[in-house]
Structure 1
Amino acid sequence: MSSVESQQDKYFNKMTLLSGMVGSGKTYAIRETVKKKIATNKTYIIQHTNDFGSLCEELKGNLIVVNNVVEINMFSFYPASYTSGDYYTYLFDCHCKELFVFLKLLLERDMWNVEKVQLMNAILEMYESVGITKGRFNPNYKYAPKHLCFSTFCEVLKEHSDNLYKEFKVYSPLMVEDKNISNYFDKKNRGLDLKNNLNLIYTNGMYSLAVLYSYVVAIKRKMRIEPEPTLLVVDEGFLFLKVEHLLETLILNSGASSVQTELLISIQSLTDLSENLNEILSAANKVILFRQNRNETPILEVNLKLPKDVVKQTHSLPTGEAMVIEDKHMYSIKYS
C-alpha cells in the first residue's frame, strides 16, 4: 500500500462529469454504464428522482429509501485491521473531519470559531475516553466502539459548551443508532434475496444535507477499509457540488480505494457548479457534454476552452449524442 501522503489528497482514479439539459440522454448513458460495469464493480447510485428504480429492479439491486432520520451511526469508528500506523491515522483523521462536518450540517447555521474548537475537542475527547486516539485503536473495553453514539457525544459536549449541548439535544429524535457504518449496506440486505452489487439510494425528495451527507460518508468509509472495484454515481449532483463540505467528501479522501474507484456525477447545467467549477473540472479526467443550454456558452468557451464552432454544436446535439473531453482530447460519442 502506498504512503498516506500519496493517498490523503488524491482524487478518484476516474471521475466523469456528465452535463446536459433534461431529455438530452444523460439517464440512458448512466444506465448503460452501470449495466456494463455491474459484473465487476460494486455500484452505488444516489438519485433524487426515481430515474433508476426500474434498473435497480432489473439488476436485482438493493433499494434504500432515505427518510428524514439519520439511520447511520456516524459516531461508530471501526478501522478493521488497521489499528496503528500511517493509514490508521489517515482513517481516524477522515472519520473525525467527516463527523465534524456532519454535526455542523445538522445545526444548519454558521458556527463561531470558538464553537468549532469546542465541537472538535468534544469529538476527540469522546474517542480518547474509550482508548481510541489518532495514534492507536486500543479500546479499553470490548464493546466501546459500538457504544459511541449521538447521546454519548452530547454528554461529552456538555462539558465543553452547555449552549451547544442544548442545541444538539433537540436533534436526538432524528438519530437511529443501531447500524454499524462498516457493514451498513450488507445489513440492509439481510433476509432479502437481492444481489448487493448495486445499491440505489433514493432521496425521495428529501434534501436534509446532514442526512444525505451521512450516506456519502457511509459509502466512502466502507470503500477505505474494504477497497474493491467500485462505481459511485451521483445523479443530479448539483446539491453536492454547490456545498463545499459535501464536494470535498465526495471527490477527495478515497484512501486505498482511489485507484479502484470511478466517480460519475450528472448535472443539468454547468452553471450549477457555481464557485466550485474550476476545482471540479480539475478533478474530472473526463467531461461528457450532452445538449447544452445557450447560457452555458461562457463556461464552455472560457473554462473548457472549446472552439466556438464546437460550442455551437453542443447547443443542437440530438438526444443520446455527446461531446467527450478526455485527457485534453475531444471526440463524439453516441448512446443508443
Structure 2
Amino acid sequence: MNQGNVTTVRPDDCKTPEPLTYNVLSWVMIGEFMLGLPLNLSVLYIFIFRFKFWKNKSIFLFNIVVADFLLVACLPFKAYHYQQGNRRSENSVVCKTMLFMLFLNRGASIAFLITLSLDRYFNVVHLGKRNFVKVLKKSPQISIVIWLLLLPLTIPTMVTTFECCNSHGREHETPAHDVTDTFREIVYFSQIVIPFIILVYCTVRIVNRLRKKTVGEKTKLRRAVCVVLSVVVVFSICFLPSTLARVALLVVRLKKWQDAENVVVQIYDSLMVLSYIDCLLDPLVYCFCNSGFKDAYVSNFCPSILQKRLLKADFGLGTTTVTTTTSGVRTVTLPILEK
C-alpha cells in the first residue's frame, strides 16, 4: 500500500495521498485562522460599534463579514483532519456541516461582492437612471432573501461526498448518482462562471466609460474602477484557480488516470486552501467601497504614527468635501457610493 512517502489510495476513501503535502496545508490553514479571526473580529467591531453599518448603507459589506466568519470557524477542524491523514472528517455529520458552511461562505461572498460591483456599474454607466441595487441596499430584508436563495445552491454539496470525491466515472455509479453528481457540478461551476462573466462585463463597461469622460469626471470614475478591480483581484485569487483545478480533477477521473488523479487531487486541495484567504482580502474591499469604514478602522486599530498618513491617503475611496463649522474647517470624506 505504501510506496515511499506516497500512499496509493482510491480518492473515494478520502485519505490524503501525500501526508507531507497535507501537513503543510494544515499549517497554512492554521496561519489563515490565526490572522483571519482577529482581523474579522476587529472588522465586526468597527461595523457594529463605530461605523454603524445599518445607518451607512453598508449592509451588504456586513454580510460578507458574516460569511467570512463561517469560513474562519471551519479552518481549525479542516487543519486537524489533514494532520490526521484525512481530506475530510470521517464523521458524516461533521463532514456535511463543514461542507455546508464552506460552500455557504463561498456563495455568500460571491453574491455580495457581485452585488457591490453591480451597484458601482449602475452608478457609473447608467448614472441618473433608477438603480435597483441601491434600492435593495436600503432594505435589510433583502440580505436575508439572498441568504435563503443560497441554501438551495449549497445543499447539493451535501447530497454525497462532494469534497472527496464525486463519483463521476466510477464503476459503482448508478444513473441516480450520475444525475446527482452532474447537478452538483453544474451548481458548483455556475456559482463561479456566471458571476465572473458579470464582473468582467461591469469592469469593461466602467473602463470604457472612463476613456470617454472628461478630466474632471475621470477622477470619480477611476475610483469606481479601483473598487471593481479590488473585487476582481479577490475573485481571481480565491475562486478561479480552485475552479480550474476542479475541471482538471473531473477530467482525470473520467479518463480513469489514477496516478494523475492522486497528483491533481493535491493541487485541487492546495488551491482550495489558497481560496480561504478571502477572509483576509475582503477587508480591503470594504476599504475601497467605503472610505468611512477605512477611516474608522484606521483610527481605532492602526498605530498613531500611521494614522495621519493613512487617513490623508486617497486610495480611490471617495470624494472629499470641506464644510465650515464654528470651530473651523472640518474635512468630511463621503463614500463614492453615495450621491
Select the structure that is richer in helix: 2
TM-score > 0.5, shorter chain as reference? no
Compute the TM-score of the two structures, normalised by the length of structure 2.
Answer: 0.30
Question: What TM-score do you get using the length of structure 1 for normalisation?
Answer: 0.30
> Higher Cα Rg: structure 1 or 2?
2
